[in-house]
Chains A and B, each alone.
Chain A
Amino acid sequence: SQQGEEDPQALSIQEGENATMNCSYKTSINNLQWYRQNSGRGLVHLILIRSNEREKHSGRLRVTLDTSKKSSSLLITASRAADTASYFCATGGFKTIFGAGTRLFVKA
Chain B
Amino acid sequence: DVKVTQSSRYLVKRTGEKVFLECVQDMDHENMFWYRQDPGLGLRLIYFSYDVKMKEKGDIPEGYSVSREKKERFSLILESASTNQTSMYLCASSSSGLAGVYNEQFFGPGTRLTVL
Contacts and interface: CB of A to CB of B under 8 A. Distances in A.
Interface string B35-51: 10000111101001010
A97 B44 CA distance: 7
Contact of B56 (A33, A42, A94): A94
Contacts of A43: 43, 90, 92, 105, 107
A33 to B, nearest CB: 6
Interface string A92-106: 111111111100000
Contacts of B101: 30-31, 93
Contact of B104 (A30, A45, A92, A93): A45
A14 interface: no
Interface in B1-55: 4, 31, 33, 35, 40-43, 45, 48, 50
Contacts of B56: 94
Contacts of A99: 42
A45 B109 contact: no
Give the most central of A33, A96, A99, A100: most B CB within 10 Å: A96
